[in-house]
Structure 1
């Protein structure tokens, strides 16, 4: 599931896997085996049955026994972190309550304005060129910058957070990126304990759950990880559908869609997170004739479940309640409404700003990023009539520049002047 063939033609792979039954044996990465639940009803039984299927990755037998490579690229997504995603029972309820009640404090009108400001800033960076890569110039950066806003990041912290989270998602120097990301978020937590504000970090600190600093850091990693990669894929895949004259998948409604309809179509046919929701059976479990060994990873294929032939009626209407793109059960996505608002606002903003925007290459020629978990474009090239920036944009930031740590400074020498990153450049334009 990590090869380019799967990335290019996932539904063909799912169709072949269905010959094995509702569950199929797969390889997620070299040396990493798992069972993939591909039937809709079987997926629901796993997602809704925490008494048989746990989320705590410390149960992973193959990893504990050294049979999973220590540098495996899937560990960033599947390795244990003490957050709500990898916890069960009372601990899960405590951590999830802190997250859901903090999310509930987000003002939707303010969130919409924040998305508009980030969108305007990014559009200004390329509007005069007449061309752009809407994935890497827009859909990828928008949620990263938005989370800096939601977390209450300073310019320096936000630049580092954006940089290292981007590196993690792109699989670059994963060990160091993870260490730097953790250090950056611990610095943010310390800052917000001293100087609380109207932001998610401060609200989590203030929550009655009494989260420790390490717990706070890992809930922030969860929020950003669960919000950035899926959001960029939701925005990118929906923009592809809206700009394409071709129907991208069986059951879709083709061109001329409203933005809301395009988002529903993507959630059904190109789930931003295609395969995830890792569970570990507490004992050997017989799931419709397939024995799932205790403490072995069982993943849910949201994409395959959504294309299950048994869902014919629901797929014909693209019923919002039937697809599994948001998960189900006690670990269902708690940020469904904000995520949809962010994508809707971001897409409408760019379509209104650049009304004649069009694909610069046929949709069928666009490449999809390999990987077992996501449905993600490599790029989304577009062209449009050049348009003057709507405000004086700051100089285009250097995306790969991060602050020089003080420990690297040479005594007696002047500290090199650091180039601004995306977040501090944004703050130069929008004082928020």
Structure 2
């Protein structure tokens, strides 16, 4: 599942697996074996049975026996952290309550108000060129900057966090990036304990669950990990769908909301994840799964299970498994949908003649066992002056910048004669909007 061949045709692989049963043995990364559930009903039964299938990876037999190298690339996505994703029972309920209560304070209006200026800022960076990579120039950066806003990051921490998150998701020195993310979040928590604001970090700190700093850090890690990578893939995959059927028809009349729903059913941004560990040997529709071995849910495979057939038409709109199911279902599906929809509408409205710059079948998909993610999304459009930022505020508040910011950490202040460090995206955005 870590090969380019799998990334190019995952649904073909799911079909072959499904022919042998509801689940099949797979290799997530070199030396990492697991069982992948590709049957819809079997997947739902696992997700909704926290008694027999638990989420705590400290049960992982092969890892405990030293058979998995500690630098294996899938460990950051699978190793234990004390957060809502990797815990069970009362501990999970405590963490989840803090997370869901904090996210519930993000209403639709607030999210749209935060997304729109970020979208405008990013579009201004490429609108005059007439060409862009909507994945790396837009869909990737929008959730990175938005989470800085939602978490209340000041300029310095936000620049470092943006750079480190980008490096980790792109596989560039992931261990160093992970350490930098930890350092940034611990600084942010310390800051917000001293000076709370109207942001998710402060709300988590103030929650009656009384989370310690390490617990707070790990809830923020899972919120970012579960929000940034899937969000960029959701935006990118939906834009591909809308553009691949011709710019004049916008997906043969498909609305952005419909495109998002189609992607969640057919090409969910996180295609395979929600790792469970059976507490005992189990028989899953004739497939034997050993206790304490990884059992991964294929959201992409299960959603496209032919056994659903005509029955899928009678299922509710949200019956797909892209958000999971059961006690660990995604607590942020409403905010995530609003973010994606607002981001998609912003770029389509700003660049009305947007079109793919290469045939859809020539686009490359990023290898990886967990995501369904484009490598690039090249587009062309009529060049337009970058006026979207100016339209969102008065000139007296923030003159338009002509800088081309890059994803680099903010450098520490040094009292010497030297050229000022180039600002990162987040501090440049803050300079413009004074937020």
TM-score by length of 2: 0.94
Match of 1:237 in 2: 237
Match of 2:341 among 340, 344, 366: 344
CA contact (8 A) 2:144 2:162 kept: yes
Change (3 A) 1:317 1:270: farther
Match of 1:396 in 2: 404
State the shift of 1:394 in Å: 4.9
CA distance in 2, matches of 1:56, 1:414: 53
CA contact (8 A) 1:123 1:138 kept: yes
Partner-residue secondary structure (3-state), 1:382:
strand
CA contact (8 A) 1:124 1:393 kept: no
CA contact (8 A) 2:52 2:279 kept: yes
State the shift of 1:321 in Å: 2.8
Match of 1:219 in 2: 219
Q: Could you give the per-residue CA deviations for residues 185-217 of structure 1, whole angstroms, max 9, x where no partner exists? A: 000000000000000000000000000000000
Match of 1:60 in 2: 60
* Residue pairs, 1:122-201, within 5 angstroms: 122-201=122-201
Match of 1:430 in 2: 433
CA distance in 1, matches of 2:78, 2:122: 32
* Structure 2 residue 365 is the aligned partner of structure 1 residue 358: no
Match of 1:250 in 2: none
Match of 2:84 in 1: 84
CA contact (8 A) 2:57 2:78 kept: yes
CA distance in 2, matches of 1:393, 1:416: 18
Match of 1:291 in 2: 288
* Residue pairs, 1:239-318, within 5 angstroms: 239-245=239-245, 255-316=252-313
CA contact (8 A) 2:243 2:251 kept: no
State the shift of 1:395 in Å: 1.0
CA contact (8 A) 1:241 1:255 kept: no
State the shift of 1:50 in Å: 0.6
Partner-residue secondary structure (3-state), 2:28:
strand
Give the superposed CA RMSD. 1.6
State the shift of 1:88 in Å: 0.2
Q: Which runs of 5+ in 1 are unaligned?
A: 247-252
State the shift of 1:290 in Å: 1.5
CA distance in 2, matches of 1:174, 1:105: 32
Partner-residue secondary structure (3-state), 1:322:
coil
CA distance in 2, matches of 1:64, 1:145: 37
Partner-residue secondary structure (3-state), 2:49:
coil
Change (3 A) 1:430 1:314: farther
Partner-residue secondary structure (3-state), 1:84:
coil
CA distance in 1, matches of 2:212, 2:322: 31
CA distance in 2, matches of 1:345, 1:318: 26
Partner-residue secondary structure (3-state), 2:252:
coil
State the shift of 1:71 in Å: 1.1
Greater Cα offset, 12-21 or 272-281: 12-21
Q: Which runs of 5+ in 2 are unaligned?
A: 391-399
Match of 2:319 in 1: 322
CA distance in 2, matches of 1:34, 1:135: 30
State the shift of 1:413 in Å: 6.2
TM-score by length of 1: 0.95
Q: Give the total of aligned pairs.
A: 421
CA distance in 1, matches of 2:325, 2:80: 21
Partner-residue secondary structure (3-state), 1:149:
helix
State the shift of 1:404 in Å: 4.0
